[in-house]
Amino acid sequence: MLQSAYPVFRVESAAAARAFFEPLGFEQIFEGSASDDPYKPDPCYMGFQRDEVIIHASSHSGDGAGGAVVVIVVDDVNALHAEFVAKGVVIDLPPIDQTWGVREMYIKDGQNNALRFAQPLD
């Protein structure tokens, strides 16, 4: 039986992952570095969570490539957009009604990974 899945974003660094996810309201829930040296935090494997959504991020060279897309279903895209704008988050595509029946907003990180926040249209 399938239970859950965690998308993994390939990131430039642990610092870049935190800089992307934290303004979006994601909390870092774990971090595993390949080094015990605090001055060399990378490569690193991390997890971020907001509400029920968990996304992993890795700066290990073998963990994928940039350009991943994760669609996150939300209750209110417009409210989320207002929250992010107030925090100074760069929005790649502001809320728009799509022909496939959702209202979406896109945000990308420096590795061209994208979060697509989608609200089903009635």
pLDDT 10s digits, 66-104: 899 999 999 999 999 999 999 999 999 999 999 999 999
pTM of the complete model: 0.91
Mean pLDDT, the chain, rounded, equals 93
Q: Is residue 82 helix, strand or coil?
A: helix
Question: Which residues lie closer than 8 Å to 8 by C-beta, 6 or more apart?
Answer: 55, 56, 57, 58, 63, 64, 68
Residue 31, amino acid: E
pLDDT in tens, 32-70: 987 777 778 889 999 999 999 999 999 998 888 889 999
What domains appear along the chain, each with residue ranges and CATH number?
8-120 (3.10.180.10)
Instruction: Name the residue with tokens 């700066």.
Output: 59
Would the pLDDT of 122 be above 90? Answer: no
